[in-house]
Each structure stands twice: as structure tokens, then as C-alpha cells.
Copies of this chain bind each other. A is one copy, B any other.
Amino acid sequence: MDYRDAGVDISAADDAKGRIKVLAKGTFNAAVLSEIGSFGGLFRPDFGRFEDPVLVASTDGVGTKIRVAVAAGVHDTVGYDLVAHCVNDILVQGAVPLFFLDYIALGRMDPQRVESIVAGFARGCAEFGCPLIGGETAEMPGTYAPDDYDLAGFIVGVVDRKNALPQRVRPGDALLGLPSAGLHTNGYSLARKALFETAGYAIDTVIPEIGGTLGRALLAPHRGYLAALEPLVERRKLRALCHITGGGFPGNIPRVLPEGLGARVRKGSWEVPPLFRLIQKAGAVPEEEMFRTFNMGVGMVVVVAPEDLHDVEHSLERRGETSFVIGSVVEGQGVAFE
């Protein structure tokens, strides 16, 4: 008996490693001192422009969006999703990315599959300027079905302590919503159950109101808001940012509000994209549950002092970013919809 008999193919792993190395190298910058394949990735930070640099780290997964990717046979987008998700998570603290690492666990080591997945990571890492300096690719027969896998991403960024968000959030601050591209990476278990199990749609069912197949709409990549928001963080024009992820509006907005403050959100102030309405109808999901599961078309909420609102809106517009005032900060707690 050898390791291959036990379902672990070291030769396939070596093949996969070779492909990863090429893709990762394409994301490197001058700060990266190591090659992929060392035990740890080496990164020499340049903190010259920071008065008091603080590292900001975050980790996440893409949840069961992977099962949609598997059903659709499209594997080069979920890695991108994960990078964008992680970039947004540290952006919320005011941080810009330094580097990224990935964890891939598969039921069967398929070098081409791994290459597709890592291509997604590499595309995101290149776009957001965070080199992919390390990772782990594990073949775990028995834990994962042969065709299935899971991903985790880890990001480290830096913020000057004086720019760390949130800060000075006050009642009367405006909440600006930035549009999401779809479900991003949250709510897929509910969406899949509603669409595929209850309504009986298939991954390739064409739905006219969403402009194509369900698979395509569900795999729409997670948007990263770094380019639009970084200049505003630098100019200290923002009081807080809130990435709408698992838990939706009520699960995330209170995370960036100080004790004693809540949010009022006007539901009619933006158009909920048809994909969310489709899921809601297919699964007869109560409206409240929709808002605590999905982003409902708002991927990032920006908290701005009233006197800065026009400045921020124009800055976003100049960078091609749409925004809409969805509510305000109020005395109280939690999120009240109106």
C-alpha cells in the first residue's frame, strides 16, 4: 500500500505546485523576498510613509458558493471572490493590502482544477496589489467528495493608526450604499435551496429578468471597493465602512457603530436587484430573513459626516462608483428599516 492507494497523489500535488508557482509569481512585487515553495512567505514591508503602522489581518471563506462553481464547472472565479472579500474586510478598518495566502482543500488533487482556482486568486491579488506569497493545497479524500473542495483566504494589510476606522461616528451621519454585483459570497445555502431544491431550477436555467443563466448570475464576482474608497480613507473623509457579508444588514452595520448608536435604513432608497427577488419568491423567504442573509444589492455601506457627503459622493462618482444614500446613524441600537 502506498499514499496513492490511500487517495493521496503526491505526484499530482507536485504538478499542481508547479502551476501555482507560475501564477503566484505574476502577483509579486519588490517586497516579496521568497519563492512559492518555502515553508513561509517572506515580505519586507516599507512602512516609511506610516507614522504608526498597525497590521490588519483577516481570514474568510467563500461558503457554499463553491458548490455553485462545482455545479457550473467554473473554478476560476471563486478565488477572485475570496481576495475581494478579504480586501474589503481590512478596508473596513482603513487598511490597504500587503499580501495574501490561500488554503485549498480538495477531495481529489486535480492539477488543472487547482490551476483554475489559483488563477482566480492570482487575478484578484494582481488587481488589488497584494502578492500571493504562500498557501497550502491539501488532498483530503473522505472529508471532501472527489469533485468538491473548500477555500480559505488570509490577508494582511496596514493602516496608519490615526486613520484606522471606524472613528467619530455620530448620530446624523449619512449611510451611503455602494452596489454589490450579486450575492458576493453570502447566503448561498439558502439561495441554492430556494432556487434548485424548492423551485426546481437548474444551474443553466435562463431567467430573462436576471439577463442569463442562474449559474452565471450566482457566480458574479464579489466586488472589491479598494480603488473607490482608498483615496477617501487617505483623506480622512470617512467615519466608518461596513462590508455587508454573512448576517446581512443587521449582522454587520452594528459591528462598526459605537455603543448607543444604531442605523435607520430606508428600503426604497435603492433598487433591490432581480436575483434577490427571485430567491425570495422561489423560497417564500420572509423579507426580514432576506435582509439578515443577503446584501440585497448593497455590498458596502459608507458612513459619512453630513458635511462631507457631497465631497464623498463626487469623489466616488469621479472613480465611476455609483452610490445612494440609504439611511442614517441614529441614537439607539441595531438596524431599523423603514
Contacts and interface: CB of A to CB of B under 8 A. Distances in A.
Interface stretch (A149-157, A261-269, A313-321, A324-332): A149-157
Q: Ordered nearest first, which 3 A-B pairs have the shortest CB separation? A: A154-B154, A103-B152, A1-B283
25 contacts: A1-B193, A10-B247, A33-B54, A39-B92, A39-B93, A40-B92, A40-B157, A41-B57, A42-B93, A43-B54, A45-B53, A57-B133, A57-B134, A59-B134, A59-B135, A59-B136, A61-B105, A61-B136, A61-B138, A64-B142, A66-B143, A67-B142, A103-B154, A105-B150, A140-B150
A102 to B, nearest CB: 7
A45 B43 CA distance: 15
Report copies per complex.
2
B44 A190 contact: no
Interface in A20-38: 33-34, 37-38
Contacts of A289: 2-3
Interface in A139-189: 139-144, 148, 150, 152, 154-157, 159, 161, 164, 187, 189
A229 to B, nearest CB: 13
A187 B139 CA distance: 11
Interface in A284-300: 284-286, 289, 292-293
Interface residues of A, number: 84
Given A39-B89, A143-B64, A143-B67, A10 B251 contact: yes
Nearest to A193: B6
A278 B126 CA distance: 48
A223 interface: no
A311 interface: no
Contacts of A3: 187, 189-190, 289, 292-293
A335 to B, nearest CB: 14
A63 interface: yes
A95 interface: yes
Given A3-B187, A61-B136, 17 more contacts: A2-B190, A2-B285, A3-B190, A5-B193, A6-B193, A33-B54, A33-B161, A38-B93, A39-B90, A40-B57, A42-B159, A42-B164, A43-B56, A63-B138, A67-B142, A136-B152, A143-B144
Contacts of A33: 54, 161, 164
Contacts of A6: 189-190, 192-194
Nearest to A33: B54
A273 interface: no
A189 B251 CA distance: 39
Summarize A's interface: helix, strand, loop or mixed: mixed
A103 B103 contact: yes
A118 interface: no
Contacts of A92: 39-40
B61 A103 contact: yes
A213 interface: no
A38 B164 CA distance: 12
A166 to B, nearest CB: 9
A15 interface: no
